[in-house]
Amino acid sequence: MTVRPIVIYGDPVLHNPTRPAEEPFSQYRELIDDMFETMEKAHGVGLAANQVGLDLRIFVYKCPDDEGHWHEGYFLNPTLETSEIPQTMPAVDGSDDEGCLSVPGEGFPTGRAHWAKVTGYDLDGNEVSAEGEGFLARCFQHEVGHLDGYVYLDVLIGRNKRAAKKAVKAHGWDHPGNTWTPGEVRDPFGHDDEPED
């Protein structure tokens, strides 16, 4: 397995809808293994294929629910169902905070539906689905959003949207070509891992 560079916000691959994965789905086994390895090294809970530069409708996840139970899996060509998405400002108490491996080191309150269900396919072409509430639902919405061509900054509202625009400009993420490789640079989210030599 290989840790792949993660594409940062300004790259067009993150801002355009991905193309469907093609059969045989087994051809993506190495990619999915690499995505799990990259996500784990980055201390993430989800990773979409376009975050590693490939415009494919695939994501992996290893994410806890609100009770602390971990859920792990992947989807090829996923579709998303959700409960109603709130139109009000998200909570400022930290419960609605969201981060993204393609927006390294930043986090902003983001309104999300409380429940979400993803349906897609596994590497053998079998239909699979998973659903969850709270944080797990947030993860599913975040990853399918990537595949639809949106980074979570694109769905922010009000002062959070303004703060995100300032952060993008300050970091110089307003153009293509920026990446970071987990394990090769200091963790931008402040985890204890030191960069490898």
Catalytic residue status for 143 = yes
Considering the candidates 133, 143, 194, 196, report the single residue annotated as catalytic. Answer: 143
Convert 78-115 to b/e letters by CB count within 10 Å (16 or more is b). bebebeeeeeeebeeeeebebbbbbbbebebbbbbbeb
142 known member of a binding site: yes
Q: 139: annotated binding-site residue?
A: no
- Residues making up the binding site: 100, 142, 146
Catalytic residue numbers, as ranges: 143
**Residue numbers belonging to the annotated binding site for Fe cation:** 100, 142, 146
